[in-house]
Every structure is written in structure tokens, then in C-alpha cells.
Amino acid sequence: MSTVAVTGAEGFIGSHLVEKLVSHGHHVRAMVQYNSFSSFGWLETLDRDTLGSVEIVLGDVRDPGSVNGLVKGTEAVYHLAALIAIPYSYQAPHSYIETNVTGTLNVLEAVRHLDIPRMVHTSTSETYGTAQTVPITEDHPINTQSPYSASKAGGDRLADSYHASFATPVVTLRPFNTFGPRQSMRAVIPTVIAQLAAGEREITLGDLRPTRDFMFVKDTANAFHTVGTAPAETVVGQTFNAGTGGEISVGDLVTLVGKLMGVDVTVKEDEQRIRPANSEVMRLVADATRLRTATGWAPAHSLEEGLEQTIAFFREPGNLARYKTDIYNV
């Protein structure tokens, strides 16, 4: 089996990517951020057969030595480690630069000096800001409207510069709004579903007007694997959107989730969940033509199919117990 490395492996998308990679015969060296509790995050929920092909490494992308040890001898590095909560980026922007920019620099340096054949860098649709043209192609202007999106754009530019300056074999994947089992309640879909699964019928949210292109996490994991294994001449040095091309407002999403769960929902607006006026991204919808053309990738799940699987996850008492549904999760 080829050995690949994943940073941020304990997280929502990272854990699904680890499963995907193992299912395709890879041995995965999975970096989990060091903690004194020896918690491996969502990796702890994977089945024993999957974990038999996973080597868990405690470390930190902010430390070059940790990164070098992780990636040495691997055939590909999937770099997902990041601070991702937009509201917390208003409170602690310095930490976002350290993780999302300096951490990315450390991975790029390790890949460059250790001659790793492929690096997949994770971007975000938030770097586009509110859509100026739709659907959004990779040529859309970058317009960072939060410290989080600015830090991710900084990592993207570093990745571009390393390919241009040193021929570092990096490809950037820019997923739109991924959702699914294991996602934290900092995101809207688990916030809605978890509150309803806990018995609430009046749920608390922020702005209901923004529209998003929601993509099921298994399709996102497949996009990562696709750009990580595609022929170099088709993907290296490029940035690819990954999205469905559809969009739905937060308000309409709540209505749809309520229908799928068979409950009537009332929404209460919470001011602390509303972004500053000039920071809210009002519309995001992807054009993933470049990725489809280069690799043949396409999402395999509709919004409703993904929501059904996510609802089933949260209806399991053991899963729901992992979430604090009665507080605002930043």
C-alpha cells in the first residue's frame, strides 16, 4: 500500500477523507493536533478494519519538525488542518494566521525539501466573498470578508507561489459548503438538525437570507482523493472548485430539514450569530466545470440524500450526545 499523509485528520472532512483513502488501499499517516487528553477526534469512531491502515501521529502544523516527520517518505500529502470557525476569527485572528498561513508554509516547505510527489492544499469558497458573478469559477476575484477567509487566501497564495517558484507539485481544492455526519455545530446544517433531534421546535439561528452551495461530505472526500491521484499533468499547479452548482437559502434549508424530519420549525434570530454587516457572504454557488473536465469528478449525492444521512446520524443518541445543542457553538 502507498503511504499518504493527512493533516487535520481528526476533523469532520479529514476523518471522512481518511476512510476514503483507506478504502482505496492507502496506508494513512494521520496527524492529530497534540492534546494532553490523547483524543483522536472523529478518528476514534472509525471501524477497526479502517484503523488498521491508519497510523495516528500527534503533532501540530505550526511546528516544522512535526510536519517533516509526518510527511517524510509519503507519496502524497492532503493538507486539511486549519482553524475554520468564522466567528472565532473575529476574536482571535492571530491564531488563524499561525495555523492557516504559517502551518501551510510548513507543509509546503516539507513537501519541497523532502521531494513529496503530490500535495493537495485545502482552500475554501469563502475566499471569493459574496458572488460578483454566478456561478463562481476559479477566475472569480478573491474578496476576503473575514479574518478566516483572509488567512485561507494567504495559504492559497503561498501554494501558488511555491508551484511557480520551486515547481512544488501542489494542487489546490476549493470546496464549497460541505455538510454531513460529524460536522460541528459551528455550521448551519448540524445546528438545525441537532437542535431538532434534541427535541427543540423553536431553534436559534443567525441570518436566514444567505444562499450556499451545499455538498455532501462523501463527495468532498472523493474530490480530494481524485485530485490527489489524478495524473500530474492534469491537476498540479491548478486550483479547482468542488461544488454542486445548486444553491439554497438558509431559510429554505430550515424548511426542507423540518420537512424531512417531520416537524414544524420556528426560527428565532440570535444577534450573536449574525456576522458584521460587511463581513457576511450573501451568495455562494460553484462552477466546478474545471474539475469535472480535468478528472471526471462529479457529486454523487443530492442535497436531500445528504440531509437524510446527516439526520440519521444525529438521531443516533450516542452521536447526538457528543454535541452541546443548548449553547452557541462558535
- Cα separations in angstroms, 10 against 20, 52, 74, 147, 314: 14, 16, 19, 23, 19
Give the residue carrying C-alpha cell 507539485.
169
Query: Which residues form the catalytic set?
Result: 148
Does an H or E element contain 7, and which? strand 3-7
For residue 213, count CB atoms less than 10 angstroms from its CB and return exposed for 0-12, middle for 13-18, buried for 19 or more. buried
Q: Residue 169 CA to chain centroid, in angstroms? A: 21
Strand ranges inside 34-162, DSSP E = 54-59, 76-79, 119-122
* Residue among 160, 166, 206 nearest 185 (CA): 206
**Angle at 39 (CA atoms; ends 33, 41), nearest 5 degrees:** 75
